[in-house]
Amino acid sequence: MNLSPAPQQVKKLSGPSLAFPASLVVLLIIVVPMLLVARYSLNQFVPGQVMKAALSLSNYISFFTDPYYRQVFVSTLQVAAICTVLSLILGFPVAYFLAKTKTNYKSFLIILLIFPLMVGNVVRAAGWMVVLGNAGAVNALLHWLGIIDHPLKLLYTPVAVVIGTTAVVLPYMILTLQSVLEGIDFSLEEAAQNLGASAFTTLRRIVFPLIAPGVAAGTMLVFILCMNAYATPVLLGGSGITMMAPSIYAQISRASNWPMGSAMAMILLMTSLLVSLCANWLIHRRYQKTMVS
């Protein structure tokens, strides 16, 4: 009697059975609330009530036709795009150094990089308020150097939001790029330089194509975090700039307009997903073209 198929069947069933609990948790925690928010976004807001059941796109139409909401949406995209580009520019040299260094202090440097992630965004934003305030460290230094006579308005501006948000997401970009850089063969870089390629050409033709998947992953992660930032825009932006996450909170908690807040949440979710997928597609397309050439 041949009993060999039985273990194979058990092996085939073990994968789905092990994945089922995690899939169920994801379904209950993420998918079900998203479906509820999508359903709420089609309801109508009635003053004095939470919402009125309906199947209407009026909330989405109001969002894209109202100049205020359009400005909030554009400001969020601009801040997220700028912070993502800045984190990529600032994070790549650090990740490159950490990936190539052989020093005994590498673990200590990585701990220093991870340490800010252990501090809440509110605490970090409060620190930037001290640095960027009218009597903060930046204005005090500029005044001491004789560059300014009156304090610069740095706090409660879009610049402050960009600085604070970039500081929050920068470790994520560095860690993502470092993990990818450590997986490439740096002997290819040395071979290209031995053949006469400059450092810039080596990075452009050898290193960047190899780390394109990591760049795509880091860009997607950072962009989504920037799009959904709440504490930093509220504390550092004040009334100088309004982004989507604080606006959604205001719609639900202050105006009790659950349908409009839900519609804005769905727009934020779909925009983050769409832009991230487009960026991922463009990076991989560029990667494929570079590898072919």
pLDDT digits (tens, 9 = 90+) for 214-268: 888 888 889 999 999 999 999 999 888 889 999 999 998 888 899 999 999 999 9
pLDDT of residue 206: 80
Domains, the chain, ordered by start:
56-292 (1.10.3720.10)
pLDDT of residue 1: 46
Question: What local confidence, expressed as pLDDT, does residue 6 receive?
Answer: 53
pLDDT grade, residue 288 (50/70/90)?
low
* Structure confidence at residue 12 (pLDDT): 55
Question: What mean pLDDT is predicted for residues 57-74?
Answer: 94
> Residue 229: its pLDDT value, please?
92
Which is more confidently placed, 214 or 291?
Answer: 214
For 262, residues 6+ apart whose C-beta sits below 8 A from its C-beta are 37, 38, 40, 41, 43, 59
At residue 108, does pLDDT exceed 80? yes
- Between 30-39, 91-100, 125-134, 202-211, the lowest mean confidence (pLDDT) is in 202-211
In sequence order, what are the residues at sequence separation of 6 or more whose Cβ sits closer than 8 angstroms to the Cβ of residue 56?
42, 43, 44
Question: Is residue 36 pLDDT above 60, yes or no?
Answer: yes
Whole-angstrom distance, CA of residue 184 vs CA of residue 96:
11
Residue pair 230/249 in contact (Cβ under 8 Å)? The answer is: yes
Q: pLDDT digits over 187-222, tens only?
A: 887 788 777 778 788 887 888 888 887 888 888 889
pLDDT the model gives residue 233: 93
Mean pLDDT across 107-114: 88
Q: 87 pLDDT exceeds 60?
A: yes
Region 22-33: mean pLDDT is 78
Residue 161: the pLDDT is 95
User: Model pTM greater than 0.75?
Assistant: yes
